[in-house]
Amino acid sequence: MKRYKYLMIEDDGFKRALFDLSEGTINPDKYLYDIEEKIDNVLKRMKNKNYKLTALCMILSSAVSKYKIDFKGESNIVSGQEDFIKFGINKGATKPDEFASIRIYCNPFLLKIQQNEIFLNSFKKELLVVLKHELIHRGQDLQVKDLKLRFEVMSSSHESLIKDLADKKEIMARAWEIIELFKLKNDFTKEEIRIRIIKHDDYRGLNNTLDFYFKAFGKNSSVIKLLYKYMYLYLEEN
C-alpha cells in the first residue's frame, strides 16, 4: 500500500501544493457494496471445494474483473502484524495503469475458505477492508488526472490536447475515468450519476474532464456522443 504526497503543479511560474491527498476525500462505500455482492456470490461456491490457490484467485478475479480488480496467488506468506495476512491476503496494490487497476496478492492461507466457514467470513471482512483502502487510492489517482487536465488546459495550447482527447481510445479511457470518479469521489448511485451527466449544464464543476469535453467539442459533437456512449456502457457494466 502506498502513501501519497502533495501534488505539485506549475501555475504561472509558481509551484504550489493543491491539496493533501488524504483518505477522507474519497468515500467508496456504495461502490464497495456492489463489489461485496459479487464476492458473496462467488464465495458461496467455494464451500467444500478443493481448488488450488491459482484456481481460487482466477475464480475471484472473474467475479470482479469489471471493477478492474484481480487476485494473484503467492507461495509465500509475508511477515507482518496485519490481520488480513492470516486470512489469506499478503497485500493490496493499486497499479499505475490507465484504470488504476487493483490487485490483491493472496497467500496459501486462502485455501482454508473452502473448508472453514468462519475463516471464509473473516477473509471476506478483511478483503473488504483492503479493497476500500485501494479504492480510495484509485479515487485519488483519478482525482489527480482530473485536476492535471484542468491545469493543462489553463497553461498550454489546446490544439494538441484537443487532438489527443478526440482519439477513440482516449475517449474510452476518459469515459471510464469520469464514471469512476463520480462513484468514488462523490459516492453517487448509478441513477444519480446518470442524472448528472444527462443534465451536465446544471452540474458543472463536479468533473473537470467532462466539463472540458463540453467546452472543447460542443454538446452536439460526434466526440461528445461517443464519450456518452462509453460512459453509459461503463455505468451499466457494473
Q: CA 226 to CA 60: how far, in whole Å?
A: 32
Q: 234 is written with which cell numbers?
A: 461503463
Residues 47-65 as b/e (b if ≥16 CB within 10 A, e otherwise) read eeeebebeebbebbbebbe
Residue 17's pLDDT is 37
Domain spans of the chain, in order of start? 25-138, 157-237
Residue 22's pLDDT is 41
Q: Which residues of the chain have pLDDT under 70?
A: 1-25, 153-158, 238
Report pLDDT digits (tens) over 39-76.
999 999 898 999 999 999 999 999 999 899 999 999 99
